[in-house]
Amino acid sequence: MSRQYTLHRAHPPAGSAIDYAADLNEQQYAAVTAPPGPLLVIAGAGSGKTRTLTYRVAYLLENGVDARNILLLTFTNKAARQMLDRVANLLPVDATGIWGGTFHAIGNRMLRRHGSALGYSSGFTIMDREDQKDLIATVVANSGIDPKEIRFPKSDVLVDLFSFAVNTERPMEELLAEKFPYFLPLLEQIKDVHARYERKKKATNSLDFDDLLEKTLRMLVEHEHIARFYRRQFQFILVDEYQDTNKIQADFIDILAAEHKNVMVVGDDAQSIYSWRGANFQNILEFPKRYPDAQLFKIELNYRSVPEILEVANSAIAANIQQFKKNLSATRDSKAVKPALVALNDGSEQSQFVAQRVLELRDEGVELSDIAVLYRSHYHAVELQLELARRGIPYQITSGVRFFEQAHIKDVAAFVRFVANPRDEVAFKRMVRLLPGIGGKSAENLWSAWETSINEKGEVDSWTARLLQLNVSARSKKPWEQLAHTLEEMAPAGKPNSPSEMITSVVEAIYDDYAKANFINYELRREDLNQLAAFARQFANAQEFLSQLALISNVDAEPAPNAAADNEALNLSSVHQAKGLEFHTVFVIWLTDGMFPSTRSLETREAVEEERRLFYVAITRARDELYLTYPHMRLNAGYGDVFQRPSRFLREIPNQLLEDWQVRRA
């Protein structure tokens, strides 16, 4: 019979190096100094979440916990390094033994040590995305799938599809039925490719990024002695941004904390906005159910925003049923300026208002780089980008590529460019390479044949007759015929339709099928293309439309009036990409039902609540000034101007918390 022996915590040294009560507010202090056990810390926006985690690590070390017994899980390695650097600055102790990093980094360390239990040697290769695509393409080529018969998902799409299935721990058929129903007829082929892909990785001693967590969890589940080893090592587990964890990450934490339960998770349920990439809101919501003895701490003192903005934020999130109720309170003094509610006639006037007000703020001394315009989806900023370019206001897209520079926008625009100018070689090659069986060399040969078939003026009286004279492979024959018919529909007898009609023809006849096979976020890209068609309605002909696209894409904006010589620029960003950032002034645009919240989110209460959390995140990015704008009308590709209802989220904010701005033209 084994003997039970208990190790007691060492007493803290006399005269702690840190005065926790002086360095922390009461709410932070309570969480940092809590006794061992499961701890859920709900840290509101701007409340010092990172400070709380950092001081908790320091507190554990000061109370005799060995650095090797602490596991700190974050969503970026940079965040882990910053926290551990701060700990090192707080304490004269060696904290290098702490295991700190992302879930995947920790999984990698475990698999390097014990991966042989699953048949992997310690020298396994970690594939990047390009490696994954290449390996999947090889698997598809050897699986007997005939691309002439079916438009099978491209490697890019399969990488994301397999990743989503792994991280949500959902069966492929369930995942396809809910999110990608157009792939359901290919279910068995997709499952077969996935199985072959897994076998190929094993045979080549290779892992992809998702394996670093999925295989680690499987190893812990299937090999109890390994799980026991890490449970004994990690006596205290701390998790940052817990609201963003997915199912597999939550399971990973739970299996490591199964015995000692010393797990502190820190996050904000009101900022859980990433379900579309696999984050599971129920993880943070149901933490007290999985850990019945959990203590709940709320950190509600906000160091970022003025009281007027926080009052709006508290009201904005209040309607959510599934949440930990909290009330952000300000540490900053009031500025006696209420957030503005601004109704505009249409999207064009909204853009003019934002541009003019931005320049006024610049004259008032607010740096352009400290101003942000936030929106629900990328296409909401189309008209604004045009207006900023016209006025010479420099801007940067926080979320990356500008709207008109995205691949799917440029793809569809290539068709319009070619119809407007049949001698446009770049547009021709981009267009034909979208068709099955046509690569770079084929496109070059086809261009040479096309170029010799048209006159110097580039006039085309019959697209069908001209294009069908060119030779293409058997695989490309039907798509080529469809291309000819589509171009004929876009410009009957050589006379181009309106740019909006041309875009609709391309999307419906050709690009929709292409996008489904090539983009995992097909629905979002389809929304972009619908908006492109709507945007094009304001232009009389293709040349005018394409000229405006070129203006936005290629013109280097002149410095704004009185702008410094540096690269100061206005920030444009989706709300998702702005999470974690803050600005002096924030504009939230297109606050109408169907835009924000989005149309697709209106089907379920859960989806509406996530949209409301997204709105809350947008509001809490602002420190000093907030503008909430909505147009009464917007252009629609098929119906012209349509009336818009103000967002339901605006109607939930008491009138007295907002200042109503009446905009009129001079």
Active-site residue, selected from the candidate residues 62, 208, 211, 241 = 241
The H-assigned helical ranges of 154-210 are 155-168, 172-179, 187-203
- Strands (DSSP E) along 24-141, which ranges? 39-43, 70-74, 99-102, 125-126
Catalytic residue (one of 466, 537, 612, 621): 621
Strand 70-74 and strand 99-102: pairing?
parallel
Q: One of 168, 271, 350, 644 is an active-site residue; which one?
A: 271
Residue 465 neighbours by CB distance under 10 Å: 12
Please say if 271 is a catalytic residue.
Answer: yes
Q: Does 621 qualify as catalytic in the annotation? A: yes
Bond prior to 597 in cis (omega within 30° of 0): yes
483 and 450 Cβ atoms separated by less than 8 Å: no
- Is 102 among the residues known to form the active site? no
Q: Are 552 and 385 in contact (CB under 8 A)?
A: yes
DSSP assignments along 606-637, one per residue:
HHHHHHHHHHHHHHTTEEEEEEEEEESEEEET
Nearest in space to 153 (alpha carbons), one of 122, 179, 127, 118? 179
Catalytic residue among 240, 269, 387, 611: 240
C-alpha 644/C-alpha 634 separation (Å) is 7
Answer for the pair 610, 568: CB distance below 8 angstroms, yes or no: no
Q: Tell me whether residue 370 is one of the annotated catalytic residues.
A: no
269 in catalytic set:
no
Of 50, 295, 322, 538, the active-site residue reads 50
Taking the C-alpha atoms of residue 508 and residue 490, their distance in angstroms, rounded to an integer, is: 12
Q: Which of 562, 569, 560 is closest to 370 using CA atoms? A: 569
Q: Active site includes 52? A: no
- The answer to whether the CB of 225 falls within 8 A of the CB of 116 is no
- Residue tagged active-site, from 28, 49, 269, 402: 49
DSSP sequence for 341-384: EEEESSHHHHHHHHHHHHHHHHHTT--GGGEEEEESSGGGGHHH
What SS3 class is residue 483? helix
Per the structure block, which two tokens stand in for 115?
A: 């991966």
> Do the beta carbons of residue 153 and residue 161 sit within 8 Å?
yes
Backbone angles phi and psi of 286, in degrees to 5:
-100, 10
The crossing angle, in degrees rounded to 10, of helices 224-233 and 103-114 is 120
Name residues whose C-beta falls within 8 Å of residue 448's C-beta, 6 or more positions apart in sequence. Answer: none
What residues are labeled active site? Answer: 49-50, 240-241, 271, 621
